[in-house]
Amino acid sequence: MRKQLVEALRQRGISDDAVLAAIGAVPRHFFLDKAFEEHAYEDKPFPIGNKQTISQPFTVAYQSALLEIRPGDRVLEIGTGSGYQAAILAALGAQVFTVERQEMLFHKTQDLLARLKFKTIRCFFRDGMLGLPEHAPFNKIVVTAGAINVPESLLEQLAPMGILVIPVGKEEQQMMRIWRTERNTFKTESLDIFRFVPFLGGVERK
């Protein structure tokens, strides 16, 4: 089923072999509620509780490809959710720092990733709007919720030549890829339209 998913993603235009290999290697059915388990390898998002969703595999593959992960990259993910995107980044060889604002989801996913022995993923219960200053700078930063604008703190925490991938917009979002250049300026590329759950400020305790 995983192989079929990889084929479907290739058909939809994902051509990055490392990303496709990671999708082929990570068991997505562990990241979904039991009720949706049999649908785990369909290219669809699903509810994961607390009004949140596990992103569609196409979206995960698309964002992962834009990040151009090199083994050893320090990668900050905002919006841990199910942990699936974090697992794909880890499978690509990244050292992952992932931040979630909902306490219940944070605990649930931190436990899951520990059980699945993802040793290169660290989970934080935090408002991702502020990034993770004590672990900055990051080679790559990815936001997996729809942002109204690009938080200054995330740009600041990007290493020179680093890449930020962030969907920006209210009802629907345009995927933006922002590079920090050698001369310390920022270069922005506007890409396709997606629909994410909202990027919200502050934390939510259980």
- Among 144, 162, 175, 180, interactor with ligand SAH by CB under 6 A: 144
Measured between alpha carbons, how far is 88 from 83 in angstroms, rounded to an integer?
9
Contact between 91 and ligand SAH per CB under 6 A: no
Contact between 8 and ligand SAH per CB under 6 A: no
- Among 23, 26, 57, 85, interactor with ligand SAH by CB under 6 A: 85
Residue 188: strand, helix, or coil: strand
Measured between alpha carbons, how far is 141 from 165 in angstroms, rounded to an integer?
6
Least Å distance between CB 184 and ligand SAH? 26
Contact between 81 and ligand SAH per CB under 6 A: yes
The residue annotated as part of the active site, out of 15, 55, 82, 190, is 55
**Cβ(160)–Cβ(184) below 8 Å:** yes
Contact between 19 and ligand SAH per CB under 6 A: no
Measured between alpha carbons, how far is 63 from 8 in angstroms, rounded to an integer?
16
Judged by CB under 6 A, the chain residues 149 through 178 that form the site for ligand SAH are none
User: Which part of the chain contacts ligand SAH (CB under 6 A), choosing from 34-42, 95-103, 111-119, 186-194?
Assistant: 95-103
Which residues touch 191 (CB under 8 Å, ≥6 apart)?
66, 174, 175, 176, 177
Interface size with ligand SAH, residues (CB under 6 A): 24
Please tell me the number of Cα atoms within 13 Å of 83 on its side-chain side: 27
To the query of whether residue 55 is one of the catalytic residues in this protein, the response is yes
Strand partners for 54: 46
Peptide bond into 137 cis (omega under 30): yes
DSSP state, residue 129: G
Least Å distance between CB 68 and ligand SAH? 18
Nearer to ligand SAH, 52 or 139 (CB): 52
Residue 183: strand, helix, or coil: coil
Contact between 128 and ligand SAH per CB under 6 A: yes
Residues labelled catalytic: 55
| Positions in the binding site for ligand SAH (CB under 6 A) | 52-55, 78-79, 81-82, 84-85, 99-102, 105, 127-129, 144-145, 197, 199-201
